[in-house]
Amino acid sequence: MKKSVVREYFESLVVAVILALFVRTFVFQAFKIPTGSMENNLLVGDHLLVNKMVFAPAPTALERALLPDRPVARGDVVVFKYPEQPDRDFIKRVIGLPGDRIELRRKQVYVNGEPLDEPYVRFLQPPAPEGMTRTGDLREEYGPVTVPPGQYFVMGDNRDNSEDSRYWGFLPGSYIKGEALVIYFSVGGPAAGSGSFGGIRWGRLGNLVR
């Protein structure tokens, strides 16, 4: 017996919902930037798609071919469960990998004794003059510390305004949910600057997260 049009539409809708739930649960996650800790690369009001599969282990050859994965790399912008409140999601940049020795001197990051080139970093104020380090200021001086196995050291790009590994410690690898992929929407209100109309930052839509 030929299916009714209503039944065909209903079945198509059910399949679409199942696929959407699968994509939402296992492949992508939407994430909205809530604070300025990643400025100027990511702005408050940016809406991102997060690739949840890129760091997920694929047990079979078929899964590895269809859903290629890779290890977490230095410089990746990742969304993760905040270790002190796992029900909250944070976004930061990976600075230190397991086994790395991390140190800050006058706001310059050193990895294994070498200065890290960070063109993405923003500072609200310059480092203190040589010999006049602000005692106890983790924005100026930190470490050295060694990243434990299976954990990472993460920091916000807006270094003077970011609650990151300098303050709450290392990030367990199991807490990483995925890599920030692309800005699919951005809204910032009337003061958002050029490229904004009705609060929408059209020029940011489709920008890859780097």
Q: Which two tokens stand for residue 86?
A: 């796992």
First to last CA, the chain: 54
Residue 106's CB is within 10 A of a number of other CB atoms, namely 13
- Helix or strand or coil: residue 132? coil
Helices (H), ranges, the chain:
5-22, 61-66, 165-168
- Helix or strand or coil: residue 158? strand
Number of H helices, E strands in the chain: 3, 13
Please pick, among 37, 162, 165, 196, the residue that the annotation labels catalytic: 37
The answer to whether residue 92 is catalytic is yes
Cβ-based neighbours of 40, under 8 Å, separated by 6 or more = 122, 157, 158
Q: Vertex 101, ends 85 and 71: CA angle to 5°?
A: 65
Look at residues 151, 163, 155 and name the one whose alpha carbon lies nearest to residue 97: 151
Look at residues 113, 116, 115, 120 and name the one whose alpha carbon lies nearest to residue 146: 113
* CA–CA dist 67, 54 (Å, integer): 8
Please pick, among 52, 81, 92, 107, the residue that the annotation labels catalytic: 92
Catalytic residues: 37, 92
